Amino acid sequence: MKVTEEKDNVVIKFAGDSGDGMQLVGSQFTNNTALFGNDLGTFPDFPAEIRAPQGTLPGVSGFQIHFGNAEIYTPGDTYDVLVAMNSAALKANLDNLRKGGIIIANTSGFDSKNLRLAGYEESPLEDGQLQDYELYRIDVTKITREALKENGLGMRDKDRSKNMFVLGFIYWLFDRDPQNTLNFLERKFSKLPDVLDANVKALKAGYNFGNITEAFSVKYRVKPAKMPAGTYRSINGNPAMAMGIISAGVKSGLQVFYGTYPITPASDILHELARHKNYNIKTYQAEDEIAAVCAAIGASYGGNIGVTGTSGPGLALKSEAMGLAVMLELPLVVLDIQRAGPSTGLPTKTEQADLLQAFYGRNGECPMPIIAASTPSSCFEVAFEAVRIALEHMTPVLVLSDGYIANGAEPWKFPKADELAEIKVNIQTKPNDDKFMPYQRDERLVRNWAVPGHSGLEHRIGGLEKEDVTGNVSYDPENHEKMVKIREQKVENIANYIPDQEIEIGPEKGDVLVLGWGSTFGGIKSAVKELNDAGYKVSHAHLRYIKPFPKNLGELMGNFKKVLVPEINNGQLIRIIRDKYLVPAVAFNKIKGVPITKKEITDEVKKLIEE
């Protein structure tokens, strides 16, 4: 008789070759988990090489999901279950599997060839090195072929269905109904009956395998999480970013123009926006990064919401044109989905290494507001807010996300349209007096937006310095200094229109403030919660607005004996914090292309308190 064991939370890592379909398995299990009502966090892990040699360590593709019956902030430090489709997948991930964890190994992936490619002299399934784990050997390939013996597909195509066998078995192991995946397969392969038949049969074979085999006497159940009432959906960071842009366009009543050049990990934003042209969205895939941003600036000049997206290498290429937008004082949104660098770096790995480039990476005194996403769902809010700031303050805005946020997923209680803030657009259609003055400003130092096609509003544009008020070209040194100060002050004035910084969790005063930004959110929050439960006086504050900072940030930091700044870089926010506030903050940095874990932050805080 099968026994069902209750679990509070579980971390599963699906791993195999890049062609084994682990990302699809992970995304389908994620959708099922979200529909079931668990809270969750995910971390897709892509190989950097396209179609790296099969069976090798560089070719391992993985998908990690952490789900539970309470709030989940991270994809998990260690795995409870590792699905290894071959020897390389096991070797690449074994160090992160907790002692006593479950290994589900596809024995067909542990033949002599796969063992050699992964660097094993003997099979780890046989030599005793896995004795600390609960090992289940399943010949996934063989059983899938047997289940599909009457299907008309060739053997190679049949083997592509083995990921569905794995998914079906995992559904059984965690007491899940696979109907949502059956519905997905019906939609995806409705015009390919043999492919549909193969995938459905493989999924059901995996599910039934758990029931009929005597090796598995226990299955597990994680109850739904108690979450605030509302309608939820599973969301990834990049689609959420696109939806935020779309919503801002609808709220403002303006057309959105997205000019971009494909680059990992930002390309999904283009794909998502291109699906929603019915919301007055225009997408343009340019020939290069410079053309993309220049087209977006042109769209802004013409009265559109100009948006461009990229990653670190592309942001460097766009820098001169971004300076033009600063000089013109036009509303432009630049999305930077960061990855590990420099140069091409690790294109599929995550990093927070573009902050200093965002602050200082343009020629001259070239200030731009900077806001940062922290979770997949926050990408919606940040994108919407970036458009609002750009339109209401007539300035380019730089949005920072990263590969971890972009590809990660979580449940999202999405807002209704009437719950979104209003976006005020001030497009001038006629001169205030006899003559239009394009750089005449209001009390916020914001100039009006005059678009082409209105008589009497003709004015000079370009990158040369503007004369105050008139906008004429000026080489006067006094005027140049004045305009530099005005542009800087205009950006700093935005602090009057953003919320004060709040403590996420922990006391208002204490021993250590863990100050973060971007994708360190989940790791910090989990660590600080654990430390508070253990009696430590530790708090967590997370920055969304980085330029300008919230007005109360300096006062808030002053309430703590020490400030710890964890970052997935070599120390960038901490330089800015030390410079502006003269606070002796302590850095904790990790530059390995993967997130900072809860345990790493917990250990660092304890060490800081002991010192």
Residue with tokens 């005793």: 128
CB 209 within 8 A of CB 381: no
Burial of 478 (0-12, 13-18, 19+ CB in 10 A): exposed
Instruction: Report the alpha-carbon distance of residue 42 to residue 76 in Å, rounded.
Output: 9
Residue with tokens 């922290």: 374
Residue from 407, 322, 390, 377 nearest 42 by CA: 407
Write out the DSSP string of 476-534. Answer: -HHHHHHHHHHHHHHHHGGGGGSPPP--SBS-SSEEEEEEEEGGGHHHHHHHHHHHHHT
pLDDT per position as a tens digit, 86-119:
999 999 999 999 999 999 999 999 999 999 999 9
Contacts (Cβ under 8 Å, ≥6 apart) of 234: 30, 31, 34, 40, 409, 410, 411, 412
Give exposure, 493-508, as e/b (b: 16+ Cβ within 10 Å).
ebbeebeebebbbbee
Cβ neighbours, 10 Å, residue 1 = 3
Whole-number pLDDT of residue 1: 63
Residue from 405, 129, 124 nearest 266 by CA: 405
CB 47 within 8 A of CB 348: yes
Instruction: Report the alpha-carbon distance of residue 72 to residue 68 in Å, rounded.
Output: 7
Can you list the domains of the chain with their CATH numbers? 3-221 (3.40.920.10), 233-419 (3.40.50.970), 427-497 (no CATH), 510-610 (3.40.50.920)
Token duo for residue 233: 């959906």
Residue with tokens 């699905």: 83
pLDDT per position as a tens digit, 368-382:
999 999 999 999 999
Residue 261 sits at the vertex; the CA angle it makes with 260 and 264, to the nearest 5 degrees, is: 110
Omega of the bond leading into 477 within 30 degrees of 0 (cis): no
CB 61 within 8 A of CB 16: yes
Instruction: Report the alpha-carbon distance of residue 203 to residue 201 in Å, rounded.
Output: 5
Instruction: Report the alpha-carbon distance of residue 416 to residue 123 in Å, rounded.
Output: 55
CB 523 within 8 A of CB 74: yes
Whole-number pLDDT of residue 214: 76
Instruction: Report the alpha-carbon distance of residue 183 to residue 190 in Å, rounded.
Output: 10
Burial of 175 (0-12, 13-18, 19+ CB in 10 A): middle
Whole-number pLDDT of residue 459: 87
Whole-number pLDDT of residue 143: 96
Residue with tokens 């559109």: 304
pLDDT per position as a tens digit, 15-29:
999 889 999 999 999
> pLDDT under 50 in the chain at which residues?
none
Distance between start and end Cα atoms, the chain: 54
Q: Where are the beta strands (DSSP E) in 387-448?
A: 396-402, 409-413, 427-428
Contacts (Cβ under 8 Å, ≥6 apart) of 388: 248, 421, 423
CB 404 within 8 A of CB 374: no
CB 608 within 8 A of CB 562: yes
Phi-psi region of 175 (alpha: psi -120 to 50; beta: other; left: phi over 0): left
What three-state secondary structure class fits 557? helix
Instruction: Report the alpha-carbon distance of residue 284 to residue 28 in Å, rounded.
Output: 31
Whole-model pTM: value is: 0.94
Which residues are bridge partners to 118 per DSSP? Answer: none
Q: What is the CA radius of gyration of the chain?
A: 26
Whole-number pLDDT of residue 119: 94
CB 323 within 8 A of CB 348: no
Amino acid, res. 579: D
Contacts (Cβ under 8 Å, ≥6 apart) of 19: 51, 54, 160
Contacts (Cβ under 8 Å, ≥6 apart) of 196: 185, 186, 188, 189, 190
Amino acid, res. 107: T
Contacts (Cβ under 8 Å, ≥6 apart) of 106: 16, 84, 85, 86, 138, 139, 140, 141, 162, 166
Token duo for residue 294: 């220049």
CB 388 within 8 A of CB 607: no
Instruction: Report the alpha-carbon distance of residue 35 to residue 67 in Å, rounded.
Output: 12
CB 442 within 8 A of CB 426: no
